[in-house]
Structure 1
Amino acid sequence: MATFTRAAALISYQLFHATDNMDSLSIRILRNRKITFSKTIPSLQGNYIFGRDSVRCQKLAMRLSIPTTVIEFPSPPTYLSSVHAVICQIEKEFHLIDGWGKKYSRNGVYVNKQRMYFRILQSSDLIHLGSSQVEIMFHQSFQQDHEKDTIESEFF
């Protein structure tokens, strides 16, 4: 009986924490070494679109089948492309894509100072859109897997 109770507790714990997403993005724009825009997205879910043209980004968001957030910048930097980059959630991973469709962004996407067209994001990746003025820091939580292992070892 005790084994059944432990197994039930483990299953309910995993189901409850499966949606407890602690991944986040910290976004900021620097102009003349001063922060002119800052935003934190504390719990990532779905897709995120970054670009200069909010109308074009919204149209793209409506075509995607999962929830999509357009990140709008007040007075967006001119070096950003209309649709500069997209972060897509595929299962538990977040994928960074330069541009959309067959077009890459004009000024590029850099992850940890290296030009990238596609990347599966890792914790503490520093993303720059175009020049170094738009910074996006990806934070990934490893707490969920650690807690799961701890619970399993306690119960079994």
Structure 2
Amino acid sequence: MKISLRAGERIYINGAVLRVDRKVSVELVNDVMFLLEGQVMQASDATTALRQLYFIVQLMLMNPTDVVAAAALYGEHHAALLAVCESREMLDGLAAIDELVKTTRYFDALKRIRALFPVEEAILADLARANAEIPFEAA
């Protein structure tokens, strides 16, 4: 796989952070886990349940030598999402994500989670509209 990076851009490879000082192309010739800087979610951006799941899986990818704690957190968070989701698309996506995580295909799991962001946004928007329609009764 060939990756092009701009000057100052970072790439996370097997837990190592690399920053290039000039435009460069890198060819990854073996199987590695990596994230480009633009795919990295900051903790402050993990504002929804699905984004929090993304952040947890991202931790698993970025720190492959210490996956145990993140894997336990992933298991709890994934189970909580399954318990509250009613959307078939979301449930199917969560099942696919779990299979990817179980086989340590974290990058693919992150892609699958990102694909569900619009579904989650629609669900949250529907909930907000429904809550706005409930009249407030003063006690």
Same fold (TM over 0.5): no
User: Relative CO higher for 1 or 2, CA cutoff 8 Å, sep ≥ 6?
Assistant: 1
Bigger fraction of residues in strand: 1
Query: TM-score, normalised on structure 2?
Result: 0.28
Which structure has the highest helix share of the two? 2
